[in-house]
Amino acid sequence: MNGADRRMETRDQNESGSSPEKTIGPKSYSYGELARVTDNFSLNNLICRGRFDHVFKASLDGEIRAIKRLDFPDVQFEEGLEREIMVVKSISHKNLVELVGYCIHGANRLLIFKYFPNGSLRSKLHGSGDVLDWEKRMKIAVGCAKGLEYLHEHCNPKIIHLDMKPDNILLDEDFEPKITNFGLAQFFTDGATHISKSSVMGTHVYEDPLTTKLREYSDKSDVYSFGVTLLELITGRKPIDNIIDIVTWANHHIKKVLEGEYTNFVDFNLQSFDHEQMYRMVSCVNSCINQRPNSRPTMKKICLVLEGILPPEELYDHELQSRSRRAQT
């Protein structure tokens, strides 16, 4: 038994109390059981594959589940697995995915989640299925914002996700978004302004360039990533298209878009959209990606703007707010 096995075994024993049948949080499964329900991880049951994992669909305990198998487990992935289990045990929100189980067996590392038939936001935006209408896109934007707000402002200690992107947003049968993949998440202690890390293996396009350069990560790192995610919701563009990243492309257009010129910016697959809501969402994008970390709005403020409770001008610091107002006059 390796160190990870011992730590997880100790944690399970401590949380189970005197009765072995009473468990709190994710359930521990045997590798043999997961191999059996996936037909030895048959490609016939493969849902998707990522950079470092494969996800399989299976029936487990009478429910349809998604079983994620890490392909290259090492020390960093082992830490990420334990971190993900610790994070999801401490959270409860309708816009955050629930981890229902895990398996640590030798070199094998697996996570078990509820299965979501609508897949990821990425698959809906860039796949060949039905186009997401504007109402669903607004619902996804607001739901993701509320999920991040919960992590940042209602968890003690605060949690920062550090890998916010469409791949890590799952959609339930009603297109309610569920933020997933907490392998890079960090607990943020009271009084801390940032977390210094030598490296975070997030996805380049969604990472704040300044944060990455300084190697200082905070909730404002998630705010930047959320802004890039909103860009994909609005435009339908892939994060990199014709070697141009979506942020660089958007910043060539965003001033005119804030003046109401949406042609060649909004996803051409959208048959219609609410112009006021679009202005609010584009304003959120602008404030997330074009302000320095300390000047970016909180996720709570972004939620209130998306919902129409606060005016978009509240998103900016005083300097950028003045420039934004001048651009509209």
The residue out of 62, 88, 114 marking a domain boundary is: 114
Q: Across all residues in the chain, what is the average pLDDT?
A: 85
Question: What is the domain count for the chain?
Answer: 2
Q: Does the pLDDT value for residue 267 go beyond 60?
A: yes
Contact of 183 with 79, CB cutoff 8 Å:
no
Q: Does the pLDDT value for residue 109 go beyond 90?
A: no
Whether 10 is covered by a domain: the verdict is no
The residue out of 57, 80, 114 marking a domain boundary is: 114
Determine the structural domain holding residue 102 and report its residue range: 27-114
Q: Does the pLDDT value for residue 202 go beyond 80?
A: no
For residue 259, give the CATH number of its domain.
Answer: 1.10.510.10
Q: How much of the chain exceeds pLDDT 90, in percent? A: 61
- Residue bearing tokens 């860009």: 231
Q: Are residues 185 and 100 in the same domain?
A: no
Average pLDDT rounded to a whole number, residues 147-157: 95
Residue 163 annotated in active site:
yes
Q: Are residues 203 and 311 in the same domain?
A: yes
Length of the chain: 329
Whether 295 is covered by a domain: the verdict is yes
Q: Are residues 98 and 144 in the same domain?
A: no
The residue out of 114, 137, 165 marking a domain boundary is: 114
Q: Does the pLDDT value for residue 264 go beyond 90?
A: yes
Whether 176 is covered by a domain: the verdict is yes
**Close Cβ partners of 20 (under 8 Å, ≥ 6 residues apart):** none
The reported pLDDT for the residue numbered 1 is 47
Q: Are residues 77 and 174 in the same domain?
A: no
The reported pLDDT for the residue numbered 84 is 74
Average pLDDT rounded to a whole number, residues 236-244: 94
The reported pLDDT for the residue numbered 163 is 92
Q: Does the pLDDT value for residue 170 go beyond 50?
A: yes
Q: Are residues 63 and 160 in the same domain?
A: no
Average pLDDT rounded to a whole number, residues 189-194: 58
Q: Pick the range with the lowest mean pLDDT from 16-25, 27-36, 312-321.
A: 16-25
> What single letter denotes the amino acid at residue 329?
T
Catalytic residue among 5, 53, 163, 222: 163
